[in-house]
């Protein structure tokens, strides 16, 4: 996969954190500014949790590596007696593209301690915007996919595809090979690898009969026809 700088990966994490903070600020609004044990994370707490994120490499114990991506930050669900003590912790999920490992860190946003860090097997969280855009870029930059897409678009709409950015409505979703028994070829790695499948419609709501699968871990299109070949 193309090398991304640590700053680029962290920028994605900050975007995710900002969106999460926006949602929780509205949902968790109270008559004062104090956050409580059961409240969603505040913007400051989310930023603190991001700074405590850990990838899968023990050598990166003090932060994220170049191939680490923060997928999700959310408040850790405590048992009732701990909630009453006012403990404020966050779950931070980091995907490490260098070894395709998802790591969950439970961090105390008040003390800055990482209470627990463990690998989460057989789990693929939803794509974040950075991954969706990368999947789309990889698909549209692939010559054979471009040709297949132009043909499928013409068959569905009766028109020529002039500009994918304006002619198409593309929804990337996470793809796992074990979710479809018809999966064959390189796409069978999806699930062990992080993959996206592109659901494509025209901007006037006509279904385009093509569902490319992009392996984000290897940075290539692994199915162009939608038949997993």
107-123 per-position pLDDT tens digit: 999 999 999 999 999 99
Residue 170, SS3?
A: strand
Q: What is the pLDDT of residues 8-50, one digit of tens each?
A: 444 444 444 444 443 333 233 333 466 766 789 999 999 999 9
* Domains with residue ranges and CATH for the chain: 6-119 (3.10.450.40), 129-223 (3.10.450)
Rounded to two decimals, what is the model's pTM?
Answer: 0.80
Sequence-separated contacts (24+) of 118-126 with Cβ below 8 Å: 119/56, 120/93, 122/191, 124/174, 124/176, 124/191, 124/194, 125/71, 125/72, 125/93, 125/95, 125/174, 126/71, 126/173, 126/174
CA 107 to CA 88: how far, in whole Å?
9
CB 192, CB 111: distance < 8 Å: no
* Mean pLDDT calculated for residue range 131-137: 96
Q: What is the pLDDT of residues 57-70, one digit of tens each?
A: 866 556 788 899 99
Q: Per this entry, what is the length of the chain?
A: 229
CA 15 to CA 175: how far, in whole Å?
23
CA 141 to CA 143: how far, in whole Å?
6
* Mean pLDDT calculated for residue range 86-110: 95
∠ CA(14), CA(100), CA(196), 5° rounding?
75
């Amino acid at each position: 996969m193309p090398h991304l700088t640590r700053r680029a990966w962290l920028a994605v994490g900050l975007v995710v954190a900002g969106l999460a903070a926006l949602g929780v600020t509205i949902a968790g609004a109270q008559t004062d500014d104090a956050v409580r044990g059961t409240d969603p994370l505040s913007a400051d707490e989310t930023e603190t949790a991001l700074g405590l994120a850990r990838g899968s490499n023990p050598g990166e114990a003090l932060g994220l590596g170049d191939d680490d991506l923060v997928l999700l930050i959310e408040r850790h669900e405590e048992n009732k007696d701990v909630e009453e003590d006012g403990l404020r912790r966050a779950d931070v999920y980091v995907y490490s593209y260098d070894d395709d490992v998802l790591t969950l860190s439970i961090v105390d946003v008040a003390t800055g301690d990482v209470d627990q860090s463990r690998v989460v097997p057989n789990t693929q969280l939803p794509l974040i915007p950075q991954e969706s855009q990368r999947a789309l870029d990889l698909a549209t930059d692939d010559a054979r996919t471009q040709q297949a897409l132009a043909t499928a678009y013409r068959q569905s709409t009766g028109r020529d595809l002039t500009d994918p950015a304006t002619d198409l409505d593309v929804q990337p979703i996470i793809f796992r090979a074990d979710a479809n028994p018809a999966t064959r070829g390189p796409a069978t790695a999806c699930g062990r690898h992080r993959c996206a499948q592109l659901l494509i419609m025209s901007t006037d709501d006509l279904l385009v009969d093509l569902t490319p699968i992009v392996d984000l871990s290897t940075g290539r299109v692994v199915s162009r026809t939608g038949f997993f070949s």
